[in-house]
Chain A
Amino acid sequence: MALPIEGEMPNGQRGYSIMKQKFNIIQSTCLPIRIDNCNTDLIIPARYLASTTRDPQFFGDAFMHDLRFDAEGKPVADFVMNKAEYSEAPRQGVHEIIIGGQNWGSGSSREHAAWAIAGYGVRVVISSSFADIHRNNLLNCFVLPVIVSEKFQQELFDTIEADPQAEVRVDLPAQTVTNLATGHSEYFDINNYKKYCLMNALDDIDFLLESKEKIEEFEKETHPVPPCEGGY
């Protein structure tokens, strides 16, 4: 099967700020992906990495591709994303939240996996555990990773599988996630710096660029670069 050719980016935008959006409260139906150790090779197979842009459409279409489609490109009927009740693409209030299995996003560091999730339209991934690199990648793509207890994760799976219309509310300012069907709620952790960044659509890179003087001072005073061949 031939790979689709990625599109040109709108407005000449190439890399920066395509995923940027302010985050506050998300209330939505969910997509339950009950796969433990769902690695980033599954989230986006390697052949989709041969890209030079962050085209959200291209990466969104590739999200979970080899579980969604068979070798001939036909939808795999029993995969959750192809079931009628979950097949609608995310939009406000619909399927903006993924409930994932434990150790979500393990393996490869490819940020393309986060681009695929964001490109598909998802704003929140809830799991009992995330791989470290993928978790950072999600945050850098303005997708909120929410860590809940295994018990609450199971409850969310059970609720949504019993009623695909059930809604979950993720409140970033209050740092709570609520199963609206049962009223059960859990507090989740995020540091204040990153919370502020997400709520105001700010990037780490801007913070770092503003700290240039500190970096130069550090290089001069604390960590002189040794005069070896090759710059170090």
Chain B
Amino acid sequence: MDKEMNIKTPDGSPHRGGDALRAEGVCLFDKIWSAHVVQNVEDGPTQLYIDRLYCHEVTTPQAFDTLRDKKISVFRPEQVVAMPDHNTPSDQQERIDDPVGRKQVETLAKNCAEFGIRHFAMGTKDNGIIHVVGPEKALSLPGMTIVCGDSHTSTHGAVGAIAMGIGTSEVAQVLASQTILQSKPKTMRINIEGTLAEGVTAKDVALYIMAQMTTSGATGYAVEYSGSTVRNMSMEGRLTLSNLSIEMGSRAGLIAPDETTFEYLKGREYAPKGEEWDKAVEKWKMLYSDPDAVFDKEVTYYAEDIAPRITYGTNPGAGIAIDECIPTLEEVNEADRTQFLSMLDYMQFKPGQKLEGTPVDYCFLGACTNGRIEDFRAFASVVKGKKKAPNVVAWLVPGSWLVRQQIIDEGIDKILEEAGFELRLPSCSSCLAMNPDKVPAGKLSISTSNRNFVGRQGPGARTILASPLVVAASAVTGVISRPPLPVGHLPLYGETSGMSSSTDNSDKTE
């Protein structure tokens, strides 16, 4: 706890005191962590205070039952926010036909009513995917500790918070005590430097990093993303990057808050207002890794090495640049060959095969990875004035009702409609097979979601992960395609200038 007290300042003067937020030589993760330590259990984990708990319908029913069995209430209900997202259909939200999924959604509503928790019900304007809704309503703020029974909680780290996925037993612990027992992870800084080429997005950056460091390369670490490429990314791009941290094994992916963060959050529904806002920003400006901060591991990647990417296997790290071929057997380590061949067998691909030009059956734009307004702008910029390929089934699913409204306000829905695409209703949709948007067995899907696991989009479904630009290009050609250059006139990732982040923006960005 007192680690910061002993740290010398760079000029050798005595340290100012125990305020963790003003400590020198400390990384961002450690600043936020130490400010939330209730106690360190002797020869055990840390009891960490949690500012925000999010609940969805899939991983919480048993947690609420734990409270019932123990006859206790929710300790700090005002710090808990709940919404269903996994089971919600994207074609209509009047009803859920599947009785099992319906029961989960109804159970969440019932639990929230009984325990006094704010609940954004299915089909209402506040609803959407938790990891899209949290940041866009400023329910997730810099400096917070945030948990949810969902591994993609890492998304919220993009605002400069410690945000981690947890299990259902841990959800019960937070409901009961607003704290959690966790061992402190090691820290890793991933620097990405330089300017991304046109058509290369935050999604490609994340897929590139995963391919470099494998899906377990960051296991045991909390990652901080840094470097000029990240600084120049829009908030939406940063949320995509942090979202995919767990696919490298890291539970948390933090980005130090800056003007882009403050601009994004200001004026949003639950952001501090007036004087409180100014005070908050002053505090948030202290949330960065000190220049002399030391990480357990540090790696640097360069934007110039990153091209639009696709995956070819059944884990997100099995990826290539879109114009590359799948590795040949000889290019794969001998120890990894069995798994490599088994992945290709499932995907119905061959070693050394080039995938660009391969026909696709399904295209999915959405999920907590790429279901935000910029993703729809990017998709629309490619399909504008073109037509959806007849062989393709396309699901375009906004991450929240707020995103959907903004799509309509900006006239993007018209562009999509003219190109033969239908804008659907907010849902996790085809990211995982828990609602009607399932990819049939054997069909090939190109998807902006986060996992290409065996059966992830439906039993037997084959998934290729890619950016909204690649999915859009593939949706109009009907085959795996790189984004056409130059990419339209709509603002893309990284182009923050002139792009309003306010949610009532009705300017047409064309």
A17 to B103, CA, bound (A): 23
The answer to whether B427 has its CB under 8 Å from any CB of chain A is: no
Please tell me which one of the listed residues A205, A230, A231 contacts residue B66 in the complex, with CB atoms under 8 A apart.
A205
Given contacts A45-B455, A46-B433, A106-B216, contact A111 B38 (CB under 8 A): no
Q: Which B residues are CB-close (under 8 A) to A39?
A: 315, 451, 453
A109 to B182, CA, bound (A): 15
Report the contact-size class of chain B (Cβ under 8 Å from the partner).
Answer: 35 or more
Please tell me which one of the listed residues B36, B69, B86 contacts residue A13 in the complex, with CB atoms under 8 A apart.
B69
Contact, CB under 8 Å: B101 / A140: no
Q: Which B residues are CB-close (under 8 A) to A112?
A: 168
The answer to whether B224 has its CB under 8 Å from any CB of chain A is: no
Nearest A residue (CB) for B20: A222
Given contacts A41-B451, A205-B169, A226-B272, contact A215 B216 (CB under 8 A): no
Contact, CB under 8 Å: A133 / B251: yes
Contact, CB under 8 Å: B453 / A42: yes
Q: Which B residues are CB-close (under 8 A) to A133?
A: 151, 164-167, 251
- Interface flags for B336-375 (1: CB within 8 Å of A; 0: not) read 1001000000000000000000000000000000000000
Please tell me which one of the listed residues A71, A214, A226 contacts residue B460 in the complex, with CB atoms under 8 A apart.
A71
Please tell me which one of the listed residues B66, B179, B220, B459 contacts residue A132 in the complex, with CB atoms under 8 A apart.
B220
A225 to B76, CA, bound (A): 11
Give the contacts of B454-485 with A (CB-CB under 8 A): 454-456, 459-460
Nearest B residue (CB) for A132: B251
A83 to B52, CA, bound (A): 47
The answer to whether A3 has its CB under 8 Å from any CB of chain B is: yes
Please tell me which one of the listed residues B45, B64, B139, B178 contacts residue A230 in the complex, with CB atoms under 8 A apart.
B139
The answer to whether A176 has its CB under 8 Å from any CB of chain B is: no
Q: How far is the CB of B419 from chain A (nearest CB, A)?
A: 31
A227 to B68, CA, bound (A): 30
Contact, CB under 8 Å: B176 / A208: yes
Give the contacts of B312-329 with A (CB-CB under 8 A): 315
Q: Which B residues are CB-close (under 8 A) to A74?
A: none
Nearest A residue (CB) for B87: A50
Q: Which of B54-62, B234-242, B298-306 is the contact stretch?
A: B54-62
Contact, CB under 8 Å: B276 / A227: yes
Report the contact-size class of chain A (Cβ under 8 Å from the partner).
Answer: 35 or more
Given contacts A17-B69, A42-B454, A47-B433, contact A232 B270 (CB under 8 A): yes
The answer to whether A84 has its CB under 8 Å from any CB of chain B is: no
Nearest B residue (CB) for A66: B455
Q: Which A residues are CB-close (under 8 A) to B198?
A: none
Nearest A residue (CB) for B431: A46
A219 to B76, CA, bound (A): 11
Q: How far is the CB of B80 from chain A (nearest CB, A)?
A: 9
Q: Which B residues are CB-close (under 8 A) to A131?
A: 216, 219, 249
Contact, CB under 8 Å: A50 / B219: no
Please tell me which one of the listed residues A66, A102, A110, A141 contacts residue B454 in the complex, with CB atoms under 8 A apart.
A66
Q: How far is the CB of B107 from chain A (nearest CB, A)?
A: 5
Contact, CB under 8 Å: B149 / A46: no
Given contacts A211-B179, A228-B276, contact A191 B45 (CB under 8 A): yes
Contact, CB under 8 Å: A215 / B167: no
- Interface flags for B91-120 (1: CB within 8 Å of A; 0: not) read 000000010110110010000000000100
Q: Interface majority SS on A: helix, strand, loop or mixed?
A: loop
Contact, CB under 8 Å: A111 / B169: yes
Q: How far is the CB of B164 from chain A (nearest CB, A)?
A: 8
Contact, CB under 8 Å: A225 / B79: yes
A114 to B62, CA, bound (A): 14
With a 10 A CB-CB cut-off, give which of B61, B72, B79, B169 has the most chain A CB atoms. Answer: B169
The answer to whether A212 has its CB under 8 Å from any CB of chain B is: yes
Contact, CB under 8 Å: A111 / B177: no
Q: Which A residues are CB-close (under 8 A) to B246?
A: 107
Q: How far is the CB of A220 from chain B (nearest CB, A)?
A: 12
The answer to whether B63 has its CB under 8 Å from any CB of chain A is: yes
Q: Which B residues are CB-close (under 8 A) to A209?
A: 70, 72, 176-177
Q: Which A residues are CB-close (under 8 A) to B173?
A: 204-205, 208
Contact, CB under 8 Å: B434 / A214: no
A51 to B441, CA, bound (A): 24
Contact, CB under 8 Å: A193 / B456: no
Which A residues lie at the B interface, using CB under 8 A?
3, 5, 13-17, 35-37, 39, 41-42, 45-47, 49-54, 66, 71, 102-103, 106-112, 114, 129-133, 136-137, 140-141, 191-194, 203-205, 207-209, 211-212, 214-215, 218-219, 222-223, 225-232
Which B residues lie at the A interface, using CB under 8 A?
35-36, 38-39, 41-45, 47, 49, 51-52, 58-59, 61-66, 68-70, 72, 75-76, 78-79, 86-87, 98, 100-101, 103-104, 107, 118, 139, 141, 144, 149-151, 153, 164-170, 172-173, 176-183, 185, 215-216, 219-220, 246-247, 249, 251, 269-273, 276, 280, 315, 336, 339, 432-434, 441, 451, 453-456, 459-460
A-B contact pairs, 21 of them (CB 8 A): A13-B69, A39-B451, A42-B454, A45-B459, A52-B62, A53-B62, A71-B441, A108-B151, A109-B59, A109-B150, A109-B151, A110-B167, A131-B249, A133-B164, A136-B170, A222-B35, A223-B35, A229-B272, A231-B76, A231-B79, A232-B144
**8 extra interface residue pairs, beta carbon distance < 8 Å, beyond A15-B62, A49-B434, A228-B280:** A39-B315, A45-B455, A52-B103, A132-B219, A132-B251, A205-B177, A218-B49, A228-B276
List the 7 closest A-B pairs by CB distance, nearest first: A193-B44, A15-B65, A231-B78, A111-B167, A140-B169, A14-B65, A16-B69
